[in-house]
Chains A and B, each alone.
Chain A
Amino acid sequence: MRKLLAQPASGQRVSICLLAIALVLYPLVFSDAFYRDIGVTFLLAAISASAWNIVGGYAGQVSVGHSMFFGLGAYTPLLLYTLWGWPPLAGIPVGILLSIGLAIIIGLPTFRLSGHYFSMATIAVAELIRIFVGTWALVGGAIGLQGPALARGWWDLTFRGDLPYYYIFLAVLALVLAVTFVLEQRRFGYYLRAIKSSERAARSLGVPVRRTKLQALALSAAFAAMAGSLYGVKTGFIDPDSGFGILVSVQMVIFAALGGAGTLFGPLIGALILVPLQTAANTWFGGGGSGATFVIYGGIIVLIARFEPGGLFDLWRRLAPLLRRRAHAA
């Protein structure tokens, strides 16, 4: 265990600690509702992107349909509340289990495809689910579902301010990152990176490629569903677009890719940059802001794909030694 902790370089460990402290203190320093809301949005984005990162980043299986898991996670607790008055806290695990089941059902046929074909298939499935949910009266159709308006107890996870949500989300983010970190160090993590690099070579070395990819997708789906359920419970409301919409999937991909897909903190860094930017765009452009978001995303996709496929993390890894050398010289 000590070896495990000693692994990141000491400089890196210091920055991780600083980041953790900053995240814990943030809502206490910025107590304004506006800033706390940005904080919660950032954490949610970081959780989603980190969840996507397990299968999309480490294993290189670029799903653009992760909204199916997010949406299922968001809908399930609210549906169980609407139907039978279940507390959201009990509905969340059900949503996670359903997402794992969906991941296996979707993964079995789609993992026969590779590269762009896999991405296209995931988009298609997520869109089908979105359209289906939008016409199904039981789950609220196009209008969607609502959660408890007033908390019957803490298990309803319905709080007045953002502060409790902030710390719940922060704990979940820490959980996702811890699980990812541990897996990264184990055989599973090595296998994922080998699969990303060359499935053919991985199989020739005895890597059970399909099983490993399915496990990665199931885990990724579980965390994406957790993110979705947190979103649904916090907002107290979910509709087909905010649950299953393609923008939900695209955001996960972009946040992770900008920071660095397949790195532990890449998705978090991506969210750290993009969430404030998105909020600023919404503030500047008002109602038309969501359109501007698309434009910004499009631009980012082009820039990453053209110049930095490894994301900012990779860029930093290459630049840091050069900068250090220059600092030494000066």
Chain B
Amino acid sequence: MLLEARNVSKAFGDFRAVAGADIAVEQGEIVGLIGPNGAGKSTFFNCLAGDTLPTTGRILFDGVDVTRAPPEAHARAGIGRTFQVPTTFDDMSVLANVMVGAFLRRPHRNDAREHARRIVELTGLRADQPARSLGTPSRKRLEIARVLASGPRLLLLDESLAGLTPGELPEAIALVRRIHRMGVTIVIVEHIMEVIMTLTRRVLVFNQGRVIASGTPEQVVRDEAVIEAYLGRGARRPRE
């Protein structure tokens, strides 16, 4: 098992954003994480990435307990993540952004630059463009490039494809596939069902801070509990 989280909870005061969530991801999988807004997906993600300290529970990465390790230790161990709201380094060029990621495993500038150039090419960005001038979809792409350059074994994508037009989606999906083929295990939070349906073979559905269903995308969308979570109780009741 590459990633295993058991009984993870995160409380903000009285509110439990994550309430006893579990996840287990095998090396080489693409796992989808879906759920209505406010289900606690991002908080759970932040716990997995070391950005938020869980109130309870344990998180193991490749058998090592990383529950209380800081985010930089997660990165060194091989857990990479993107942010729901893209946080690119706006004063720097696209290439320099990606180099910051590349420096993690390539301390020398020229090595890092070479590696970053390859990654930038792979993601279809323009190396010399200032990050400030990018639109939101390109920023998300830059985030992917940046974390990819840091050489992760597990990539946590937090709505990286949100905001793309239907025309841009296939290219983005192809990019995620390419990253997967490079041997990177992926957990992806996404609202666009097309993305989940085409990319993943296993989906976890989050609601009110815990996993309420899991299975193939086809199974999950027919699940009673899932429909209720998205549409509310009685959605299935025939109209009178």
CB atoms of B88 and A201 under 8 A apart? yes
CB atoms of A203 and B91 under 8 A apart? no
Which residues from A are CB-within-8-Å of B112? 187
Scan residues 184-211 of chain A and give those whose CB is less than 8 A from a CB of chain B.
185-187, 190-191, 193-194, 196-198, 200-209
CB atoms of A207 and B100 under 8 A apart? yes
Which residues from B are CB-within-8-Å of A187? 103, 107-109, 112
1/0 per residue, CB under 8 A from B, across A168-187: the answer is: 00000000000000000111
Interface set of B (CB-CB < 8 Å, partner A): 49, 51, 70-72, 74-76, 80-81, 83, 87-92, 96, 99-101, 103-104, 107-109, 112, 146-147, 150
Residue of A nearest to B71 (CB): A203
Which residues from A are CB-within-8-Å of B108? 187
Minimal beta-carbon separation of A309 from chain B (angstroms): 11
CB atoms of A203 and B75 under 8 A apart? yes
Scan residues 90-140 of chain A and give those whose CB is less than 8 A from a CB of chain B.
none
Minimal beta-carbon separation of B40 from chain A (angstroms): 19
* Known contacts A187-B109, A205-B75, A206-B150; A200 and B99 CB within 8 A of each other: no
User: Pick the contact of B87 from A196, A200, A208, A262 — CB < 8 Å?
Assistant: A200
Q: With A and B bound together, what is the CA distance between A208 and B99 in angstroms?
A: 15
* Known contacts A187-B103, A187-B112, A205-B104; A198 and B89 CB within 8 A of each other: yes
Interface set of A (CB-CB < 8 Å, partner B): 185-187, 190-191, 193-194, 196-198, 200-209, 262
CB atoms of B75 and A190 under 8 A apart? no
User: Pick the contact of B100 from A185, A186, A191 — CB < 8 Å?
Assistant: A191
CB atoms of A205 and B100 under 8 A apart? yes
Which residues from B are CB-within-8-Å of A201? 83, 87-89
CB atoms of A205 and B87 under 8 A apart? no
Q: With A and B bound together, what is the CA distance between A206 and B153 in angstroms?
A: 14
Which residues from B are CB-within-8-Å of A191? 100, 103
Which residues from A are CB-within-8-Å of B92? 190, 193-194, 197
CB atoms of B147 and A186 under 8 A apart? no
Minimal beta-carbon separation of B167 from chain A (angstroms): 28
Minimal beta-carbon separation of A316 from chain B (angstroms): 16
Q: With A and B bound together, what is the CA distance between A208 and B108 in angstroms?
A: 16
CB atoms of A194 and B89 under 8 A apart? yes
Minimal beta-carbon separation of A190 from chain B (angstroms): 5
Given contacts A193-B92, A194-B89, A203-B70, 6 further A-B contacts (CB under 8 A): A191-B100, A194-B92, A201-B87, A203-B71, A205-B100, A262-B91
User: Pick the contact of B72 from A190, A206, A262 — CB < 8 Å?
Assistant: A206
* Known contacts A194-B92, A198-B89; A205 and B107 CB within 8 A of each other: no
CB atoms of B103 and A190 under 8 A apart? yes
CB atoms of B75 and A193 under 8 A apart? no
Residue of B nearest to A197 (CB): B89
Which residues from A are CB-within-8-Å of B104? 205-207
Q: With A and B bound together, what is the CA distance between A209 and B49 in angstroms?
A: 16
CB atoms of B109 and A185 under 8 A apart? yes
20 contacts between A and B (CB under 8 A): A187-B103, A187-B107, A187-B109, A190-B96, A190-B103, A193-B92, A194-B89, A194-B100, A197-B88, A197-B89, A197-B90, A198-B87, A200-B83, A200-B87, A203-B71, A204-B81, A205-B147, A206-B76, A209-B72, A262-B91
CB atoms of A203 and B72 under 8 A apart? yes
Which residues from A are CB-within-8-Å of B72? 203-204, 206-209
CB atoms of B75 and A186 under 8 A apart? no
Q: With A and B bound together, what is the CA distance between A207 and B97 in angstroms?
A: 13
* Known contacts A193-B91, A197-B89; A205 and B146 CB within 8 A of each other: yes
Residue of B nearest to A190 (CB): B100
Centre residue among A196, A197, A205, A262 by max chain B CB count within 10 A? A205
Which residues from A are CB-within-8-Å of B90? 197
Q: With A and B bound together, what is the CA distance between A201 and B89 in angstroms?
A: 8
CB atoms of B91 and A197 under 8 A apart? yes
Which residues from A are CB-within-8-Å of B109? 185-187
Which residues from A are CB-within-8-Å of B146? 205
Centre residue among B71, B74, B109, B146 by max chain A CB count within 10 A? B71
Minimal beta-carbon separation of B49 from chain A (angstroms): 7
Centre residue among B49, B72, B150 by max chain A CB count within 10 A? B72
Which residues from A are CB-within-8-Å of B88? 197-198, 201
User: Pick the contact of B71 from A186, A190, A194, A204 — CB < 8 Å?
Assistant: A204
